[in-house]
A and B are shown apart, each in its own frame.
Chain A
Amino acid sequence: MKFGFVRALLLIAALFVAIPVHAEQRNFFKIGVITELSGDLVTGGNITKRGYDLWAQEVNAKGGIEIQGKKYPVKLVYADAQSNPAAGAAAAERLITQEKVDFILGPYSSGVTLAVAPVVDKYKIPMITGSAESPLIWKNKFKYTFGTIPPINFTGATSIKTLTEMKPAPKTIAIIGSNDAFSKATAESYKAAAEKAKLKIVKFSIVPSGQDMTPLLSAVRSMKPDVIAFGGHDEEHVKFVKALKQIGYTPKALLMHCGITDKAFIDAVGKDGEQIFGTTCWTGTAKTKSKVLWPNAAAYAAASQKAFNNPGDYTQGGCSAAGIAFQTALQKIGAKPGMDEATRTKLITALEQIDVQTFYGRVKFATSGEFYHANVGLDPLTVQIQGGQVKTVGPKASVEAPAIYPMKEWKSR
């Protein structure tokens, strides 16, 4: 009986101790990709997949990652997080312990990233997410997790600032966020920026994901805010625009974030998408210069257009840039496939040190503070949909076209 008890204790203890990941000898880099290939976030998950695929395709077309004169191809091994944090964590365990991947390219959503990050920390496997933006990820200071898209509290303020520079300047704002890690953080960042800009917040609400927001927007309409800002995902953006149109309320500015820069959003809402503002940190027309893979944003957009019949948005670009960050760090330390724990630890140090210009812009990960391991090398942009194209309208240094303000009434489009 006593022996059985001890054995049970040992078994439980074993569950809490990470099994060391043994290196495998191979002549290619085996890279795990965890993303949302089914479930509610399938759109974003597949956009991240495109970004990772395009990077791998381009690297392999050039023969692989060159390490000390020898080229090593890359092989992506996918695991579906099913838009579910628990499934994402299980997928990470499988990729690490069974597939023995060298490193991981991370999920689309912040919620899944928050579940995967402790797992990669436990097994000491480096991960870069090319998409997740919730500040919570970086506040947790996960040693093995990095991100190429700056957190929303780093980027969100820019759009609010651009809007306050409009004439006549808006005075009131209603902010709504969907109840998931990223969307909630987006709404909160808009709130913080609005308070700082002395805009009067007439409504701040977080609503359950996927809900019909018409009743809430009816209440918002009665407050007549100049600006409505919304944090959500692609499907919710479409519903949000349609609900506003159905209740017949056109604010002076409608600000959204994730997804409006994707051509698919513009196709889905058509003329109703015109003049919607968004926050991003990259567009296909961004003025970037790089010596790695693609020489600039336009070249990347052209490659994406050729591969997917879509020029790609900032999420897809961020994912390809995540691959470039790994590639740069691997070359810096001369790491070869089948890395052991010591090499992976060196890779973390190298990632912390890299400062590389990519088609996406500068990639430089913070090494301390609230943005720990997030990319702080990029300048956030305010964009607006004009004539079916995404145009940068702020900050002043990056303007491609003057902002159209106030928005044209829905009924007169």
Chain B
Amino acid sequence: MMELLPQALTDGILLGGIYITIAIAFSLTYGVMHVIDFAVGEWIMFGAFTGYYLNKWTGLDPFLFLPVIFVLYFGVGYVIQPVIHRVLSGTKGNPFLMGLVFTFGLAIMFRGLALTAFGFYSNSIPSAFSEGSFNLEPLGLTVTIPTVRLVGLAYALGITLILHYLLKKTNFGLGVRALAQHKDAAGLMGVNSKRTGSYVYGIYVGISAMTGVLLGCILSIGAQMGNEYTIFAFFVVVLAGMGYLAGVPWAALLLGLVQSIFMIYFNPSHTLLAVFAILYIILLISPRGLFGKGV
């Protein structure tokens, strides 16, 4: 069975790549807006269906539409954010809990809407990348790498690097980080919290929608698909440390590797049990995530 180890590690890393794409923007929006957006899975689902229909109507590869989908959903997020901001900046009751309830409601509403608009069947997005795979043969062992999953990993790392650059090397990023650290102080330093929040939420929705296209090419799409991804996004972000963006890739890769190795070497039916057991143990030891840097 040890000859399967290189394949298990490869599958785990590629699966981790998928989890990075799901969680990275979710972590960003939590870090800045301090809202756990339960609708993350639904943004992914909307993006997936947009890619599906654009491919169906034009016949072009869905990856070509990623910039269009980003811009479209950036706009949607930018417009919706002020509503969430209003809920979160209330002075009565508990705005944090209100924010939770609000996004939870959004998720349910979006799911129902999608069911009506897109129907109840599962679908798949065809792409030139979905067709092939290639083999590596290190030390006489064959390791298969599906092209579409490798593209997914490259996309995940690309998005991570772009976000990193944006946050660390630009004035906009400085404002975002200031806002994440102390909203009032950032405001006093001239950071427009409303507009910056809108940009961040727009970026998050745009990235999530693009991720949907990728997932549709790798896995499948359906009106009810969002819930599953919301759970995984939440898991990765908690493991990484709430709002700690740099921890997301490592937490996602850990999750992918645990799943892959457990599926191959242990009882596959206990895979999720293993995943959550590891989450609990890590949180017991380090309540602020893997690196102790979460909020």
Report yes or no: B115 in contact with A38, Cβ–Cβ below 8 A.
yes
Cβ of B115: which chain A residues have Cβ within 8 Å of it?
A: 38, 42
- Which residue on A lies nearest to B217, using beta carbons? A242
Known A-B contacts A43-B122, A207-B271; the reply to A235 vs B220 at CB < 8 A is yes
Complex CA–CA separation, A63 to B244 (angstroms): 66
Known A-B contacts A211-B271, A219-B4; the reply to A242 vs B130 at CB < 8 A is yes
What distance in Å separates the Cβ of A413 from its nearest Cβ neighbour in chain B?
Answer: 9
Q: Determine whether B249 belongs to the interface, using a CB cutoff of 8 Å to chain A.
A: no
Cβ of A211: which chain B residues have Cβ within 8 Å of it?
A: 259, 263, 271-272
- Which residue on B lies nearest to A208, using beta carbons? B272
Complex CA–CA separation, A179 to B269 (angstroms): 7
Q: Determine whether A411 belongs to the interface, using a CB cutoff of 8 Å to chain B.
A: yes
Question: 1/0 per position for A268-282, CB-CB distance to B under 8 A?
Answer: 111000000000000
Cβ of A98: which chain B residues have Cβ within 8 Å of it?
A: none
Chain B stretch 132-152: residues in CB contact (< 8 A) with chain A: 132-133, 135, 144, 146, 148-149
Which A residues are within 8 Å of any B CB, using their own CB?
38-40, 42-43, 45-46, 179, 205-208, 210-216, 218-219, 221-222, 234-235, 238-239, 242, 245-248, 264, 267-270, 411
A-B contact pairs, 26 of them (CB 8 A): A38-B112, A42-B120, A43-B121, A46-B120, A208-B271, A211-B259, A212-B18, A213-B263, A214-B14, A214-B149, A215-B12, A215-B15, A215-B259, A215-B264, A216-B268, A219-B4, A222-B7, A235-B122, A235-B220, A235-B225, A245-B130, A246-B133, A246-B146, A246-B148, A247-B133, A264-B122
The 5 closest A-B pairs by CB, nearest first: A246-B146, A215-B260, A238-B220, A235-B122, A264-B121
Q: What number of B residues sit within 8 Å (CB to CB) of A?
A: 46
Q: Which of A39, A216, A267 contacts B263 (CB 8 A)?
A: A216
Chain B stretch 242-273: residues in CB contact (< 8 A) with chain A: 259-261, 263-264, 267-269, 271-272
Question: Assuming A211-B272, A215-B15, what are 9 further A-B pairs, CB within 8 angstroms?
Answer: A212-B15, A213-B263, A214-B149, A216-B264, A218-B264, A238-B124, A239-B219, A246-B148, A270-B124
Which B residues are within 8 Å of any A CB, using their own CB?
3-4, 7-8, 11-12, 14-15, 18, 111-112, 115, 120-124, 126, 130-133, 135, 144, 146, 148-149, 218-220, 222-225, 227-228, 259-261, 263-264, 267-269, 271-272
Report yes or no: B11 in contact with A218, Cβ–Cβ below 8 A.
yes
Complex CA–CA separation, A238 to B124 (angstroms): 7
Complex CA–CA separation, A245 to B4 (angstroms): 19
Q: Which of B124, B219, B227, B264 contacts A269 (CB 8 A)?
A: B124
Cβ of B121: which chain A residues have Cβ within 8 Å of it?
A: 43, 234, 264, 267-268
What distance in Å separates the Cβ of B197 from its nearest Cβ neighbour in chain A?
Answer: 32
Cβ of B144: which chain A residues have Cβ within 8 Å of it?
A: 218, 221, 247-248
Complex CA–CA separation, A82 to B144 (angstroms): 39
Complex CA–CA separation, A43 to B261 (angstroms): 32
Cβ of A267: which chain B residues have Cβ within 8 Å of it?
A: 121, 123
Complex CA–CA separation, A206 to B219 (angstroms): 19
What distance in Å separates the Cβ of A33 from its nearest Cβ neighbour in chain B?
Answer: 16
Cβ of B132: which chain A residues have Cβ within 8 Å of it?
A: 411
Cβ of B228: which chain A residues have Cβ within 8 Å of it?
A: 210
Complex CA–CA separation, A235 to B219 (angstroms): 9
What distance in Å separates the Cβ of A137 from its nearest Cβ neighbour in chain B?
Answer: 21
- Which residue on A lies nearest to B122, using beta carbons? A235
Report yes or no: B126 in contact with A270, Cβ–Cβ below 8 A.
yes
What distance in Å separates the Cβ of A191 from its nearest Cβ neighbour in chain B?
Answer: 14
Q: Which of B12, B219, B227: most chain A Cβ within 10 A?
A: B219
Q: Which of A206, A211, A239: most chain B Cβ within 10 A?
A: A211
Cβ of A245: which chain B residues have Cβ within 8 Å of it?
A: 130-131
Cβ of B18: which chain A residues have Cβ within 8 Å of it?
A: 212
Known A-B contacts A38-B112, A268-B220; the reply to A43 vs B123 at CB < 8 A is no
Report yes or no: A234 in contact with B122, Cβ–Cβ below 8 A.
yes
- Which residue on A lies nearest to B134, using beta carbons? A248
Q: Which of A46, A179, A216: most chain B Cβ within 10 A?
A: A216
- Which residue on B lies nearest to A410, using beta carbons? B131
What distance in Å separates the Cβ of B104 from its nearest Cβ neighbour in chain A?
Answer: 15
What distance in Å separates the Cβ of B7 from its nearest Cβ neighbour in chain A?
Answer: 5
Cβ of B268: which chain A residues have Cβ within 8 Å of it?
A: 205-208, 216
What distance in Å separates the Cβ of B262 from its nearest Cβ neighbour in chain A?
Answer: 9
- Which residue on B lies nearest to A213, using beta carbons? B263
What distance in Å separates the Cβ of B218 from its nearest Cβ neighbour in chain A?
Answer: 7
Report yes or no: A39 in contact with B224, Cβ–Cβ below 8 A.
yes
What distance in Å separates the Cβ of A42 from its nearest Cβ neighbour in chain B?
Answer: 5
- Which residue on B lies nearest to A233, using beta carbons? B122
- Which residue on B lies nearest to A248, using beta carbons? B133
What distance in Å separates the Cβ of B30 from its nearest Cβ neighbour in chain A?
Answer: 24
What distance in Å separates the Cβ of B179 from its nearest Cβ neighbour in chain A?
Answer: 35
Report yes or no: A268 in contact with B271, Cβ–Cβ below 8 A.
no
Cβ of B219: which chain A residues have Cβ within 8 Å of it?
A: 212, 238-239, 242
What distance in Å separates the Cβ of B123 from its nearest Cβ neighbour in chain A?
Answer: 5
- Which residue on A lies nearest to B10, using beta carbons? A218
Cβ of B122: which chain A residues have Cβ within 8 Å of it?
A: 43, 234-235, 238, 264, 268
Complex CA–CA separation, A234 to B123 (angstroms): 10
What distance in Å separates the Cβ of A49 from its nearest Cβ neighbour in chain B?
Answer: 9
Report yes or no: B263 in contact with A247, Cβ–Cβ below 8 A.
no
What distance in Å separates the Cβ of A327 from its nearest Cβ neighbour in chain B?
Answer: 27
Q: Which of A42, A208, A214, A268 contacts B124 (CB 8 A)?
A: A268
Q: Which of A43, A207, A218, A234: most chain B Cβ within 10 A?
A: A218
Complex CA–CA separation, A179 to B222 (angstroms): 20
Cβ of A210: which chain B residues have Cβ within 8 Å of it?
A: 228
Cβ of B224: which chain A residues have Cβ within 8 Å of it?
A: 38-40, 42
